[in-house]
Chains A and B, each alone.
Chain A
Amino acid sequence: MDTLLLARLQFATTTSIHFLFVIVTLGLVTLLVGMQTAWVLTGNPKWERLTRYWGQLYVINYVLGIATGIVMEFQFGLNWSGLSRYVGNVFGAPLAIETLVAFFLESTFLGMWIFGWHRLGKGVHLALLWGVAITAYASAFWIMVANSWLQNPVGYEVRDGIAHLTDFGALLTNPSLGMAFGHVVSAALLVGGMLMAAVSAGHLIRRTPDFALFRTSLRIGLVTAALAITMVQGFGFAQFGPVGAVQPTKFGGDGPESQALIAEWTTRFGPGDYTPPVLASVGLGFMILIGFTLGCVWLLLPLLFRDWVIRLRFPLWLILLALPLPFIAVILGWISREVGRQPWVAYGLLPTEQAVSPVSAPLMLTSLIGFSLLLGTLAVTNWVLLARHARRGAADPALGRPPAPPSEPAHPEPALL
């Protein structure tokens, strides 16, 4: 095993785990904003209970998003020092902006939101959640700016073998960016909606208390998922044009543009295999299949009338069993986007093998095994906790629990279940 392959495996593992959590974060926070806003506007306690229940799942899910995100940020320097050496002047800027503009504030706001129940004014508390959501979207945007630059490097010039920034605006108008950003954001809404619908369906199947509560979140989840899947499909197919124009080799294209590009690379970088692994096209194919399957969620919407979706029961089972599909689809989509960029780390500019750090293979292998085990264990633990809390129901989530009444002896531990 060579260092390059090990470094790529490590990046793929970390990023896949990261993506599975942040996509839920982005989708759920949007729905939470709606719920808490409804609570503040209407004062209906149902919305408070919904916000607390889904907020608790959101906060548990957020933990692994941060943990894997920190690992990813360090991994650029640890394993891909060539990336920062040759293209860091351009690629580093959107990442630096993301940490400052988005992530820094997102976490600060979230800390105050978790501990701000019963302490801050309702308006301020709601504003904090809006802040969390806006910075989460900003975060996704800047990460996509950085990623799109790797897909289609723009706005730079190479001097002495090193890329320098010439036009930052070009990074923002990158043809690789717009539709892909819409696609990812809609996918997050789809995942958030499907998760909400599936967890609610589980409760409705088991006939737990809180029928009204889970009926509401089932409806919100289904409508969100239906709108989102259509947007996912639209933004997805809209990408074929720009991607075909700027990355003709991506999905194994064999047309004249692709051949011309490979001929140009051969003269500039020497002969080599410039077609990406077939995994990119396979991933794309299966993702599109899942995308069409999930489109059937529209068929369930008429059943919302008079709660037929609940009374018939089998649609609830379908929703529950379909939950893994959007997660599989986002991973496949990510694989096709990233694997389709190979053998380049920055398309047509920096070959992947030149970006890897000059670290010994045994050290890289140790790091790969160590981080995969650590993050894999934490991810599974996190999912188990999520499933338990989802199953436990909305009776009394720890999030937003009122503090013990002052007559009780001074003791910060509230009565536990």
Chain B
Amino acid sequence: MDLAWYAVLGLFFASYLVLAGYDYGVGLLLARGVGPAGRREALTALGPFFLGNEVWLVAAVGILFGAFPLLEGELLAGCYPAVVGALVGVILVTVGVQLRSRPDDERIRARWDRVVVIGSALAALGWGALLAALLQGVPLQADGHVAGVTHLATPFAAAAGLAMVTLVAVHGATFLTVRLSAEAAAVVGRTARRLVPVALTAVALATVVGLLSARVRDAVQRPAVAVLLPVLLVAALLAARAALTRQRPGWALVATGAALALPVLLVGAALWPYVLVSTTDPDASLRVADAAASAPTLRLLGWVALPLLPALLGFQAMCWWVFRGRTDGRAPVYW
């Protein structure tokens, strides 16, 4: 039961990174100097999907609270700066994208777009650092609380945050390659291809820094998984580049999406059966089973979620289907 809920939690958080990941990628790419029309075109490509993407985060945190209350409190409070950074980023992006076109003045819109760029970078940095914090262990004490927040300040957390920024940038550029009109897509497709080596370098750097970190080596319970999944991530990025070169942006988007989902799988699988590994007191480490809510709560949530999941996925799929294809002059413009 707890494994199933742990998988559902991972599914929702990974889906959030995959879906909102291209929001943040598109957000970062607003900084690439394409002028007001180009920026608006990029936001129109996000259009109807934008609101449906960030709700995966809200649902993931809801599941975290309902099914893993102990983890929710200790993880968020114990990694306060990373969570707040990501949260501020999420807020800036959601407000910036939705409000930027309400004033008519292009200068004010450009200012809002800078807010979106900063927010996108913060969100990616924060989530990357949070995943790194899990992988490098936290100073969990015998009383069950995480001591302080300075444990976050490591080269590995910084490298993972940067890697996440490059991953969402590649993902966002690939998304635009799928969605923009053919001529604009060709330009942004070249950007996407050029960003792949940058992301590869950042991922390789994070992996090396992680392997060199004694904390990461101690915290990881399954070294084979921890080595295999970064290799898969690199393979996904190479596949994305190959697909972009062959003018198959749809497949490239699948590959960059996989690259954003893999870090979540990596953290979940490499630490199993633990979710918070203590760096100070091995006995204080928190197992997934101990972090989970008690059986009646999980049963209740199961009865609610099981019939609901098809509806949630179905309505999201409806949104993707209705608004599929490239944007053109007749695409609805609102953001």
- Chain A residues engaging chain B, CB cutoff 8 angstroms: 59-60, 63-64, 66-67, 69-71, 73-74, 76-85, 88-93, 95-101, 103-105, 107-112, 114-120, 164-166, 168, 357-360, 363, 367, 370, 374-375, 378, 381-382, 385, 388-389, 398-399, 401, 403-404, 406, 408-414, 416-417
Q: List 19 A-B contacts (CB under 8 A).
A: A60-B99, A67-B91, A73-B65, A74-B83, A74-B87, A77-B61, A81-B76, A88-B73, A89-B294, A104-B56, A104-B59, A105-B311, A105-B312, A108-B52, A115-B47, A118-B332, A381-B99, A411-B329, A412-B333
Determine whether the beta carbon of A408 is less than 8 Å from that of B329: yes
B316 contacts the other chain (CB 8 A): yes
Say yes or no: A70 contacts B70, CB within 8 Å.
no
- Tell me whether B72 and A77 are in contact (CB under 8 A): yes
> In this assembly, does B50 line the interface, its C-beta being within 8 Å of a C-beta of chain A?
yes
B65's partner among A67, A92, A359, A381 (CB-CB below 8 A) is: A92
- A370 to chain B: which residues have CB within 8 Å? 84, 88
B80 within 8 A of A: yes
Q: Which of A89, A404, A412 touches B44 (beta carbons < 8 Å)? A: A412
Smallest CB–CB gap between A302 and chain B, Å? 38
Interface assignment of B255: CB less than 8 Å from any CB of chain A = no
**Does more than half of chain A's interface fall in helix, strand or loop, or is it mixed?**
helix
The answer to whether B208 has its CB under 8 Å from any CB of chain A is: no
- What are the 10 tightest A-B residue pairs by CB atom distance, in nearest-first order? A88-B69, A96-B66, A99-B62, A81-B73, A77-B76, A111-B51, A115-B48, A357-B77, A84-B73, A84-B69
Set of chain A residues within 8 Å of B300, measured between Cβ atoms: 93, 165, 168
Q: B66 to chain A: which residues have CB within 8 Å?
A: 92-93, 95-97
Task: Enumerate chain B residues within 8 angstroms of A105, measured Cβ to Cβ.
Answer: 311-312, 315
Beta-carbon nearest neighbor of A399 in chain B: B334
- Shortest CB–CB separation between residue B222 and chain A, in angstroms? 27
Contact A374/B88 with A76-B72, A79-B77, A93-B297 known, Cβ cut-off 8 Å: yes
Q: Which residue of A lies closest to B182 (CB)?
A: A410
Of B166-174, B229-237, B277-285, B320-328, the one contacting chain A is B320-328
Q: Point out the residues of chain A lying under 8 angstroms from B301, CB to CB.
A: 93, 96-97
B76 touches A409 (CB 8 A): no
The answer to whether B304 and A60 touch across the interface, beta carbons within 8 angstroms, is no
Contact of B102 among A70, A166, A385, A414 (CB under 8 A): A385
Chain B residue numbers with a CB within 8 Å of A64 are: 95
Cβ contacts under 8 Å, B227 to chain A? none
Complex partner residue of A78 from B76, B101, B318, CB under 8 angstroms: B76
Question: From A168, which residue of chain B is reached at the shortest CB distance?
Answer: B300
A99 to B62, CA, bound (A): 6
A409 and B83 contact, CB distance less than 8 A = no
Number of A-B pairs, beta carbon distance below 8 Å: 254
Bound form: Cα–Cα A97–B144 in Å: 27
CA distance A67 to B95 in the complex (A): 7
Complex contact A70–B90 (CB within 8 A): yes
Give, as a whole number of angstroms, the nearest-CB distance from A74 to chain B: 5
Q: Contacts A115-B332, A409-B329; is A71 near B87 (CB within 8 Å)?
A: yes
B289-330 residues with Cβ-Cβ distance < 8 A to A are: 293-294, 296-297, 300-301, 304-305, 308, 311-312, 315-316, 318-319, 322-323, 327-330
A89 to B294, CA, bound (A): 6
In the complex, what residue of chain A is closest to B69 when comparing beta carbons? A88
Contact at B94–A108, with CB atoms within 8 Å?
no
Residues in A whose Cβ lies below 8 Å from that of B304: 97, 100-101
* B58 in the interface (beta carbon within 8 A): yes
| CB–CB B98/A95 < 8 A | no
Residue in A closest to B63 when the chains form the complex, CB atoms: A96
CA of A85 to CA of B58 in the docked complex: distance in angstroms? 20
Which residue of the partner chain, among A92, A103, A110, A417, contacts B58 with CB atoms under 8 Å?
A103
Task: Please state if A114 and B48 are interface contacts (CB–CB under 8 Å).
Answer: yes
Closest residue of chain A to B319, judged by CB?
Answer: A112
Q: Is the CB of A100 within 8 A of B312?
A: yes
Is B216 an interface position by the 8 A CB rule? no
A363 to B77, CA, bound (A): 11
B331 CB within 8 Å of chain A:
yes
**With a CB–CB cut-off of 8 A, which chain A residues contact B47?**
115
The residues of A that contact B54 with a CB separation of less than 8 Å are 66, 70, 107
- Let me know if B94 and A100 touch, CB within 8 A: no
Bound-state Cα–Cα, A381 to B111, Å: 13
Min CB distance A415 to B, Å, is 11
Q: How far is the CB of A57 from chain B (nearest CB, A)?
A: 11
Pick from A81, A89, A110: contact of B74, CB under 8 Å: A81
Distance in angstroms from B308 CB to nearest chain A CB is 6
Q: Contact: A114 with B62, CB < 8 Å?
A: no
**Complex: A239 Cα to B84 Cα, angstroms:** 38
Q: Does B157 contact A (CB under 8 A)?
A: no
Q: Are B37 and A77 interface neighbours, CB within 8 A?
A: no
Q: Decide if B145 is an interface residue (CB 8 Å cutoff).
A: yes
A408-B333 Cα distance, complex, nearest whole Å: 15
Closest Cβ neighbor of B106 among chain A residues? A416
Cβ-neighbour of B55 out of A90, A104, A374 (below 8 A): A104
Is B58 a contact partner of A77 (Cβ separation < 8 A)? no
Q: How far is the CB of B89 from chain A (nearest CB, A)?
A: 11
B57 touches A92 (CB 8 A): no
Residue in chain B with minimal CB distance to A382 = B99
Within 8 A of A (CB), among B14-50: 37, 40-41, 44, 47-50
- Residues on B with beta carbons closer than 8 Å to the beta carbon of A411: 37, 329
List the A residue with the shortest CB-CB distance to B76: A77
Closest approach, in angstroms, between the C-beta of A334 and any C-beta of chain B? 21
Chain B residues positioned under 8 Å from A408 (CB to CB): 329
Task: Report B130-178 residues with CB < 8 Å from chain A CB.
Answer: 144-145, 148-149
Write the nearest CB–CB distance from A51 to chain B, whole angstroms: 15
Does B202 make an interface contact (CB < 8 A)?
no
CB distance from A223 to the nearest CB of B (A): 30
Assess A363 versus B76: contact at CB under 8 Å? Given A112-B318, A403-B330: no
* B181 interface residue per 8 A CB criterion: yes
Say which residue of A77, A93, A115 sits within 8 Å of B75 (CB atoms). A77
Please report the C-alpha to C-alpha distance between residue A210 and residue B142 in the assembled complex, in whole angstroms: 69
Say how far B324's CB is from chain A's closest CB, in angstroms: 12
Instruction: Find chain A residues with CB under 8 A from B297 CB.
Output: 89-90, 92-93, 164-165
Q: Is the CB of B73 within 8 A of A77?
A: yes
- The answer, among A63, A90, A404, A417, for a CB contact under 8 Å with B94, is A63
Interface residues of B in 192-218 (CB under 8 A from A): none
Q: Indicate if the CB atoms of A63 and B65 lie closer than 8 Å.
A: no
Known contacts A88-B70, A112-B318, A116-B322; can you find 4 more A-B pairs with CB under 8 A? Answer: A84-B69, A92-B65, A103-B55, A358-B77
B-chain residues with CB within 8 Å of residue A60 when the two chains form the complex: 98-99, 102
Give the nearest-CB partner of A62 in chain B. Answer: B98
